[in-house]
Structure 1
Amino acid sequence: MKLATYLADGEERLGVVDTDHDQVVDARSAHRRAEGSDLPALASMQALIEAGPAALETLAGLVVGADDPDRLPLSTTRLAAPLPRPRQIRDFLLFEKHVRNCLAQESRLTGNDRPVPPAWYEFPTYYRGNPSTVVGHDTDIVRPAYTDMLDFELELGCIIGRTGKDISADDALDHVFGFTIFNDVSARDIQMRMAPVGMGPCKGKDFDTSNVLGPWIVTRDEIGDPYDLQMTARVNGEEWGSGSSGDMQFNWSEVIAFVSQSETLHPGEVLGSGTVGTGCGLEQGRFLEDGDVIELEIERVGTLRNKVTR
């Protein structure tokens, strides 16, 4: 299924997206109509994820024909981030082409020539993002006043669906709820200035509207092979870059096994793949202008669209 969080009557609601009919099914309303009662697992995306496979099966049984009265036109429905308040965000750096391209551009801009660190090939590295800055599809990205090099980053987002610690690579995918598109918005000039300190990107990636998820979550059973997804980035309709999820240096099983060492993962956490090769402006020496419209598309997931404002 494709699962969304949408806004109606001033509240966030859980919906099932039917892209064939351009509609969204109100999950809670459909259950109330069918069973005459509310199901707590359908109160929000987080509640659904925590409720486990049985709740998903119940929800699937509620999705009926295109004339169902609980359906809304997708084209006029305002979507929020599918997981508006993730329990945690960890953003990895898994595409070698992206790493090499960015280091080459940073060298050109700063004069500091840096090779790919040998440790990058040894284990999947990441930083923690700020869940409080998450926004969704068709929400404006507000440029921080302190940057002249605002950039997008096309990533595949993995949603954790089961609690686990010291998870084996063989069992790791059983802990995945689904996948979404992740735009890790970056202030590149500030990021490059702060990088030599060694404390992470800091204000280069930490500002309101800097983490964009959407347009919905595709459940793991529907996504198929997560390493065979075409990924494309467009700005104002012009393609800026594309690649494949199959180019990840470490697969999701390895990533989950690594990050869960001596640490518990919880339902509703987000893992970002890092930017696919050519999936950002920095790699081409191009940056976003006010009014630009970014469209990030991942095969079998959808298209995440946002506009840059000041």
Structure 2
Amino acid sequence: MKLLNFIDNGIVKFGVNTKNGVLDIASALAAVQASAGIRVPSTVHEAIEGGTAAVQALQVYMEEVEKRGGELPFLWLNEEQLTWAPCVTAPGKIICVGLNYRKHAEETNAPIPEYPILFNKFNNTLAGHGDDIPLPRVTDKVDYEAELVIVIGRSAKYVAKEEALDYVFGYCAVNDLSARDLQMRTAQWLLGKSCDKFSPLGPYLVTADEVGDPNSLDIKCTVNGEVRQHSNTSDMIFHIDEIVSYISQHMTLSPGDIILTGTPEGVVLGYPPEKQVYLREGDTVTIEIEKLGSLTNRMVSESR
């Protein structure tokens, strides 16, 4: 199932992608009462926290609404008319894994990590599909990074690798934008990773059952239509189950937490200095991951 968020009159609303368009769940619930005993999640975080039972309730309810589709055509929205919000709106934690693709580590002349390299971002970095991304005035070296995101669905602590995927609700795409000059200013990467809107997330949150094996997904980044990154999640050094298990040994993961799993080769930083052309005003970046859809954002000058 493909879940999403959109903005209507300044309010974030919850939707589900269907063959008829995007079903506006709040409007549907106001028009069609759910059958007795069915508790339909009205926000993406209710769906995440409710897990499999919530997804099943959504599926049953959508079937009920579709039976009355001819009477209620206004419940289905055209994606092209949406103002998208991040597909996860309020993660408790945003955890990132650095240098997690073998060829990316090689292109940046970095040693292959012995353990996952972890850092964090904050909720100020979240943005939606279609959002304009302001290029901060304090940097001129903003780089793109196509990444697969894990969305945690159950509280996880000391989870074994063999059980780790059971704690994943679903997956989405992100552009882990990075101001390289700020990132490399000190040994800590946080400054270059945490500028406003540096984590556009979406367009969909796709449930784990629909994705299947997360370690065999095609992943691509294009800038103004030119392919810059094209790889497969199979090139990860630490795979999804290893990442979830490793992090859970050190902190409790909670429903709605997101984990950015690293980027493949092809980033600007990986080019020789004379060939490095960082993102500029007007550039359009699209992150495309198999089964997860395409996430597109345009770079703009920061408002003065």
Alignment map for 1:1-310 (pairs within 5 Å): 1-18=1-18, 20-21=19-20, 23-32=21-30, 33-35=32-34, 42-64=41-63, 65=66, 69=73, 70-93=75-98, 94-103=100-109, 115-116=110-111, 120=113, 122-194=114-186, 198=187, 200-278=188-266, 280-284=267-271, 285-310=276-301
Query: How big is the shift at 1:292?
Result: 0.3
Change (3 A) 1:142 1:40: farther
Change (3 A) 1:79 1:239: same
Q: What residue is the counterpart of 1:109 in the other structure?
A: none
Q: Is the Cα contact below 8 Å between 2:34 and 2:40 reproduced in 1?
A: no
Alignment partners' CA distance in 2, 1:34 and 1:253: 39
| CA deviation profile, 1:236-279 (whole Å, cap 9, x unmatched) | 1111120001111111111111101142110000011111222x
| Structure 1 gaps, min length 5 | 104-114
- Any idea what SS the aligned residue of 1:193 has? coil
Query: How big is the shift at 1:29?
Result: 2.8
Q: Is the Cα contact below 8 Å between 2:124 and 2:195 reproduced in 1?
A: no
Q: Is the Cα contact below 8 Å between 1:85 and 1:132 reproduced in 2?
A: no
Alignment partners' CA distance in 2, 1:173 and 1:99: 25
Alignment partners' CA distance in 1, 2:169 and 2:62: 19
Percentage of matched positions with identical amino acids? 33
Q: Is the Cα contact below 8 Å between 2:40 and 2:58 reproduced in 1?
A: no
- Any idea what SS the aligned residue of 1:265 has? coil
Alignment partners' CA distance in 1, 2:61 and 2:39: 15
- TM-score by structure 1 length? 0.88
Alignment partners' CA distance in 2, 1:272 and 1:209: 15
Query: How big is the shift at 1:57?
Result: 0.6
Alignment partners' CA distance in 1, 2:141 and 2:105: 18
Q: Is the Cα contact below 8 Å between 1:14 and 1:42 reproduced in 2?
A: no
Number of residue-to-residue matches in the alignment = 289
| CA deviation profile, 1:56-114 (whole Å, cap 9, x unmatched) | 111011224475532111111111001122111111021021122123xxxxxxxxxxx
- TM-score by structure 2 length? 0.89
Alignment partners' CA distance in 2, 1:204 and 1:262: 24
Query: How big is the shift at 1:36?
Result: 8.1
4+ residue segments displaced more than 6 Å: none
Alignment partners' CA distance in 2, 1:87 and 1:28: 24
Query: How big is the shift at 1:193?
Result: 2.1
Query: How big is the shift at 1:167?
Result: 0.6
Change (3 A) 1:41 1:131: farther
Alignment partners' CA distance in 2, 1:35 and 1:138: 32
Structure 2 counterpart of 1:134, one-letter code: L
Query: How big is the shift at 1:40?
Result: 7.4
Alignment partners' CA distance in 1, 2:2 and 2:124: 24
Alignment partners' CA distance in 2, 1:5 and 1:273: 22
- Any idea what SS the aligned residue of 2:161 has? coil
Q: Is the Cα contact below 8 Å between 2:39 and 2:54 reproduced in 1?
A: no
Query: How big is the shift at 1:129?
Result: 1.0
